[in-house]
Structure 1
Amino acid sequence: MKKGIVLLSHGSKSPTANQELVDLSSQLEEGLDIPVKGANLQFSKPDFWKAVDELISLEVKEIIIIPLFIFAGKHVKKDIPNLISKAEERYSKIKFTSTNHLAANNDLLKKLIASKLNIL
């Protein structure tokens, strides 16, 4: 089954921040050799639906949503699950899954913080 990834960011009014998401998506796509699309939850484009539509146009049958949110706030607990439910209704032949928010993986955060402090 062909897979694709949506990197789901909060979104920003800053063009620089939005470009960072586009750049990260491109870098991951090259490294992983599967389609990766960046999407913003609010404030800016591309949005979730554009990313999903682009992946479906590439004949992806499973879409993995990776929320780029540190903590389990309203967006992680409510908004993202609601989006996924709507996507499952709209695209019944596509499998949608989501990874946990970033703080759910303490080891990942410890490594990130340690690298920022040059401890590793």
Structure 2
Amino acid sequence: MKALLIIAHGSRRQKSNDEVTQIAKELSEHTKHDFDLVESAFLELASPLIPDGIEQCIKSGAREIIVLPYFLNSGRHVTEDIPQIIAAQKARYPDTQITLRPHIGASSIMLDLILRMATDK
């Protein structure tokens, strides 16, 4: 079973956290992807935290987890904190393939998205 875990910073503002959870829910209901499970987790300030999100994916049967940081910039969280958390989880679950993908802001499609958002009416 293959899971997608979307991770965000987390906020004291619950509505912000709910937006990330809703994205994961909508993706899980979307039919055009290769994931059996789509979940969300947070770095801090909200639940579930990243380690708990990974554990939940594994408890649901995932043997491969793609971790996608829902971050625009490569700040300290993206370059240091998240990789450290993922490395610890890989050590904790050696029988599960956990892959950390680049943050969404690093994607080349962001340029097109920015232009589209700026010109849509």
Shared fold (TM-score, shorter chain, > 0.5): yes
Match of 2:6 in 1: 7
Match of 1:103 in 2: 105
User: What are the superposed Cα offsets for residues 17-43 of structure 1, whole Å, 9 maximum, x if unpaired?
Assistant: 011111110011111352111111011
Structure 1 counterpart SS, 2:29? helix
Structure 1 spans left out of the alignment, 5+ residues: none
Structure 2 counterpart SS, 1:8? strand
In 2: Cα distance, 1:39 partner to 1:49 partner: 8
Calculate the TM-score normalised by the size of structure 1: 0.91
Measured on the aligned residues, the alpha-carbon RMSD in Å equals 1.6
Match of 1:24 in 2: 23
Structure 2 spans left out of the alignment, 5+ residues: none
Q: Which letter maps to 2:106?
A: A
Q: Which letter maps to 1:75?
A: H
Q: How many residues align?
A: 118
In 2: Cα distance, 1:51 partner to 1:103 partner: 22
Structure 1 counterpart SS, 2:78? helix
Cα drift, residue 118 of structure 1: 2.2
Distance change (3 Å), C-alpha of 1:103 and 1:19: closer
Match of 1:86 in 2: 88
Match of 1:37 in 2: 39
Distance change (3 Å), C-alpha of 1:103 and 1:21: closer
Q: Which letter maps to 2:118?
A: L
In 2: Cα distance, 1:72 partner to 1:60 partner: 28
Structure 2 counterpart SS, 1:7? strand
In 2: Cα distance, 1:103 partner to 1:37 partner: 20
Aligned-pair identity in percent equals: 27
Cα drift, residue 13 of structure 1: 0.6
1:77 partnered with 2:76: no
